[in-house]
């Protein structure tokens, strides 16, 4: 299809569907969601000349996975956002089945997108091209086209380039699947973003002491944090264990040291980034003030996503809040970006036995819970959190099976920060030692109900809506 045709169809979908989507009771107040249609991976997260740019996988034509576009928001403060012109539409042969995920860099003061052009053939096979597009004076993106064809030795599942600069050279990590159906991360180098040289596999199933560890690794991101290198990735095909790897696909990280000369990345063990029901495809950027920021998709591919009630209102999925990353004792610590505190209203505090706590409205709210004693919490009669002194468990009813499903964290609990927004909850454990992110669909207005006979201390802030221009 021509780009003009795709843009006309997207415009019609937005104009005809946005009023219904905005009227949905589960529409978030301060998380980012698509105007209509389906959103998934965040892409091209970058700060340029003081303004953050955040792109996202978007199907504006339906609540379905299909030929993805790139939507585009920008913000000065990570709180209030502005719609920018649609960045990419899958109009060329080399991206006929979608402009898949990728990243953004600033090259010679020009914002430049690096993304995967996805192509599927009638016989069931597929291929992938890594492509470039550069911003023009109108804030739109001119496609340069493919700069890297499918590398030898891999299936058509090669995608999600994340690019950064080191010692005057550009480097790229790519998610890939080898011909023997094992997930890998590839490292490549370029002097100019146009010609790329492979430096080999730096991580994956069967490498660096890992046994078999998934048939495909997606959405890699490699960055420096506290004198270490951190590789984020999303291995597909990990076997579920009693208390971990419980989502359809996982998202996690390795801490190690990248040898740029040898193309090697010796690393430690795999750690999940988020222990909730919905979290995938995170991407980071380095802010101009030196912070490593991350945002993810509050969804899971091939899960039970299409049983969510917002589909009937013409939209599905949100992104997580923006998080600040630090590294402590070899573990990635995640905290809500400090800018989000600007959304806070008047603070309320309370202490006493859990069962006597006020039933605050948490439809759009932040709650801090300070205790190491057993308690339980009900969020909007749709999500239950229980701390028994050893395990923290999060339980809800699966919308497809109508059966309970549970996620777990094990440790010594001291404090929880819970961010609530209409149909999502993000629970930060012990100042970001672990996180549990989930969509849920509560009785509105959602109320917090605590139970337990032990002492607990609470802080509460209502949260204002962000502005989307």
Examine the residue annotation and report whether 41 is marked as an active-site residue of this protein: yes
3-state helix, strand, coil in the chain (%, to 5): 10, 50, 40
C-alpha span between 136 and 125 (Å, rounded): 35
The four Cα atoms 348, 352, 358, 360 give a dihedral, to 10 degrees, of 50
Q: Which of 41, 160, 221, 421 is catalytic?
A: 41
Beta bridge partners of 350: 458
Within 10 angstroms of residue 469's Cβ, the number of other Cβ atoms is 10
C-alpha span between 202 and 262 (Å, rounded): 10
Contacts of 176 (CB under 8 A, 6+ apart): 151, 154, 157, 158, 159, 183, 184, 185, 186, 201, 204, 216, 217
SS (H, E, C) 92-104: CHHHCCCEEEEEE
SS (H, E, C) 58-104: EECCCCCCCCCEEEEEEECCCCCEEECCCCECCCCHHHCCCEEEEEE
Using alpha carbons only, give the angle 300, 367, 369 rounded to the nearest 5 degrees.
Answer: 105
DSSP type of residue 468: B
Question: Catalytic amino acids?
Answer: 41
């Amino acid at each position: 299809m021509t780009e003009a045709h795709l843009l006309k169809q997207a415009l019609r979908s937005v104009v005809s569907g946005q009023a219904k989507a905005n009227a949905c009771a589960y529409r978030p107040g301060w998380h980012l969601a698509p105007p209509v249609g389906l959103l998934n991976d965040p892409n091209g997260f970058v700060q340029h000349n003081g303004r953050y740019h955040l792109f996202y996988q978007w199907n504006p034509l339906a609540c379905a996975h299909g030929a993805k576009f790139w939507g585009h928001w920008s913000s000065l403060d990570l709180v209030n956002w502005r719609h920018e012109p649609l960045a990419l539409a899958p109009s060329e042969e080399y991206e006929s089945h979608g402009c898949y995920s990728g990243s953004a860099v600033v090259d010679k003061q020009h914002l430049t997108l690096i993304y995967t052009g996805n192509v599927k053939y009638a016989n069931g096979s597929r291929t992938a091209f890594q492509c470039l597009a550069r911003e023009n004076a109108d804030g739109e993106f001119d496609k340069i086209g493919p700069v890297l064809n499918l590398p030898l030795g891999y299936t058509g599942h090669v995608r999600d380039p994340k690019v950064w600069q080191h010692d005057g050279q550009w480097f790229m990590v790519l998610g890939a699947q080898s011909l023997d159906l094992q997930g890998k991360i590839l490292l490549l180098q370029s002097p100019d973003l146009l010609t790329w040289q492979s430096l080999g596999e730096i991580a994956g199933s069967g490498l660096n002491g890992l046994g078999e560890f998934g048939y495909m690794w997606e959405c890699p991101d490699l960055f420096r944090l506290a004198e270490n290198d951190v590789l984020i990735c999303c291995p597909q095909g990990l076997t579920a264990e009693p208390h971990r790897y419980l989502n359809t696909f996982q998202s996690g990280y390795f801490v190690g040291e990248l040898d740029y000369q040898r193309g090697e990345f010796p690393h430690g063990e795999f750690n999940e980034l988020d222990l909730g029901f919905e979290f995938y495809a995170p991407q980071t950027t380095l802010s101009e003030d030196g912070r490593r920021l991350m945002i993810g998709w509050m969804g899971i591919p091939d899960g039970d996503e299409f049983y969510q009630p917002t589909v009937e209102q013409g939209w599905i999925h949100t992104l997580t809040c923006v998080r600040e990353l630090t590294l402590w004792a070899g573990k990635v610590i995640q905290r809500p970006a400090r800018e989000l505190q600007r959304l806070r209203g008047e603070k309320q505090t309370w202490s006493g036995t859990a069962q006597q706590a006020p039933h605050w409205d948490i439809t759009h709210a932040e709650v801090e819970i300070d205790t190491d004693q057993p308690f339980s919490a009900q969020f909007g009669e749709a999500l239950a959190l229980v701390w028994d002194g050893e395990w923290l468990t999060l339980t809800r009813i699966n919308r497809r099976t109508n059966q309970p499903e549970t996620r777990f964290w094990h440790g010594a609990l001291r404090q929880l920060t819970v961010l609530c927004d209409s149909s999502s909850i993000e629970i930060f454990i012990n100042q970001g030692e672990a996180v549990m992110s989930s969509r849920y669909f509560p009785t509105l207005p959602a109320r917090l109900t605590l139970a337990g006979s032990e002492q607990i201390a609470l802080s509460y802030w209502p949260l204002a809506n962000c502005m989307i221009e």
